[in-house]
Chains A and B, each alone.
Chain A
């Protein structure tokens, strides 16, 4: 039986009466990374916390590799500490009173909980943390901290890794490096993951599958190429030959000689034969929190 890595249907209610907010999420993932994508306040993080068992789901069920972890109708609910999921939040995830190696070993059973445990050492190596093994979390950069958090989550060999905007407060360059290291380590450990983000580029880079969230509902599920074509760059190459004119609203129209357009298939294949309209938008400046 080749069960899916994750299947879930959840209804989550927070608050009471008029002020309550209801999330209804349907998720499925064969393998790899499932991205929960949408604006903030759409219910992505609540869904992730309900998956983890950190908040209760009002209705629904969760199956991971065919194993039932939650089924409200049958009264099954595996508590959070027995689900064996890794959880990595955006910040405040490291124990300030432990050094890096002790943090990584934290989730291991008592007998294996040693800093020189081979598994801990291997993970430190894998995440490039060996030189920092004795460093305290306070002295690490944001990117280093999240690498420690990832290594610690993987140390317990989780059935599923849950990541709640883990790289949101890390600068662009650092984030690209973390994306690479996350992708390769998850493949190596064969660990499926659910990744929450509001950044379309991050969703397109990491997701094997994307679920879109809007106001507490999952509105679409599919591959990132189909759902987030706009997140991948469309490149137009050619020489502008003339300015065709100015329009009353102040916009300018130009003509490009024998232009070549490159971009995601999902967008451009539809354009074949007919007219193709491309919209260029200026991206909002990246807001980066200081670390």
Chain B
């Protein structure tokens, strides 16, 4: 495998891993918020979290361009204030992966956190744990199987992101051509052998994810 062939693999892994750096803390915090707090806009926040999961990826990509593109609502602001232009960069691929993976993580981790018995948290609080300590010493360890399954699924979604990435990051060889984009490009140009390489890599990752998620599933949960 030469550098041109291996580039999409390395890029995809980097994009997905960096995306998880954002998605994991944010997603777990949102899952906890939705599982444990009752506040006025809860339903609307719930709908917003769910939206990227049901929207077609191309629509998602369009929204990203409208919001974060060079003339986008926040994009202009990023450009003038920080001299940052996201469109057609690896960072844009990361943003697209984040948006696609976040709802999957929240919606899988939320039931795991909801399943932690209220009594366990009451006991933890009575034993002197302040809210943050309670989360890290009681809630998260008690829900770790479900949360880990959520992280694994979200990673798989992030590394497989196609539609929004194509819209927002483009398919620039040596810059933003992640594996899913590369498969499409190779197939279009008739280079099936190259497509198969990335198909094998992505399929292997997906199979590993499915196996891991089923092992972490609720059936293995201690009673």
Contact = CB atoms under 8 A, between A and B. Distances in A.
A53 B130 CA distance: 13
Given A85-B126, A106-B127, A162-B126, A138 B222 contact: yes
Contacts of A54: 122, 125-126
Interface stretch (B6-14, B138-146, B203-211): B138-146
A107 B123 CA distance: 9
Interface string A65-105: 00000000000000111111111111111011100000000
B142 A107 contact: no
Contacts, number: 63
The listed residue with most B CB atoms (<10 A of its CB), out of A54, A79, A162, is A54
Majority-rule SS of B interface residues:
helix
Interface residues of B, number: 19
A166 to B, nearest CB: 11
A96 B142 contact: yes
Contacts of A82: 128
A88 B119 CA distance: 9
A13 to B, nearest CB: 16
Contacts of A149: 123
A138 B223 contact: yes
Interface residues of A, number: 31
B199 interface: no
B122 A87 contact: yes
The listed residue with most A CB atoms (<10 A of its CB), out of B127, B129, B130, B138, is B127
B117 A92 contact: yes
A278 to B, nearest CB: 41
Nearest to B137: A106
Contact of A87 (B126, B134, B222): B126
Nearest to A137: B222
A224 to B, nearest CB: 26
Given A81-B127, A87-B127, 17 more contacts: A53-B125, A54-B126, A79-B130, A80-B125, A81-B126, A81-B130, A82-B128, A86-B126, A87-B123, A89-B123, A92-B119, A92-B120, A95-B120, A95-B141, A96-B222, A138-B222, A138-B223
Interface of B: 117, 119-120, 122-123, 125-130, 134, 137-138, 141-142, 144, 222-223
